[in-house]
Amino acid sequence: QVQLVESGGDLVQPGGSLRLSCAVSEFTSESNLIGWFRQVPGKEREGLSCISVSDGDTYYADSVKDRFVISRDNNKKTVDLTMSNLKPEDSAVYFCAARRGRPGWWCQHPNFSPWGQGTRVTVRS
């Protein structure tokens, strides 16, 4: 089974930037769509963005499309989420996950498997 490992979470000040990375053990036809999600305690996991590893096509949730950029490096088998102009409400545990499919509005729903273990982002002064 494909394995995913997130990294890059940190404490950052409001207005700052951060790049998260998702290392994927392999890109397969069953894991050709990689998504980034976040979750805070007591709330549902929120889908932020996803990318097709084959052609780089992307989808962004409205809440982040002007501040977050998703990208992939097929040689390194990584999918990065570059976040800018961070706000305290961006504080969460961020996860990447894989599934088969194409980018679209369904990337906002956590119907992905498998998942990484998460990396924590804290935005505060």
Report the C-alpha gap between 30 and 11 in whole angstroms.
34
Scanning the structure block, which residue is given the tokens 């809440």?
A: 63
Q: Which amino acid is at 54?
A: S
Q: What is the pLDDT of residue 60?
A: 98
Report the C-alpha gap between 8 and 4 in whole angstroms.
14
Angle at 104 between CA 79 and CA 62, to 5 degrees: 85
Q: What is the pLDDT of residue 87?
A: 97
Q: What is the 3-state secondary structure (H, E, C) of 4-51?
A: EEEECCCEECCCCCEEEEEEECCCCHHHCEEEEEEECCCCCCEEEEEE
Q: Is the dihedral of CA 106, 108, 109, 115 positive or negative?
A: positive
Q: What is the pLDDT of residue 8?
A: 98
- Report pLDDT digits (tens) over 15-64: 999 999 999 999 999 999 999 999 999 999 999 999 999 999 999 999 99
- Report pLDDT digits (tens) over 68-111: 999 999 999 999 999 999 999 999 999 999 999 999 999 999 99
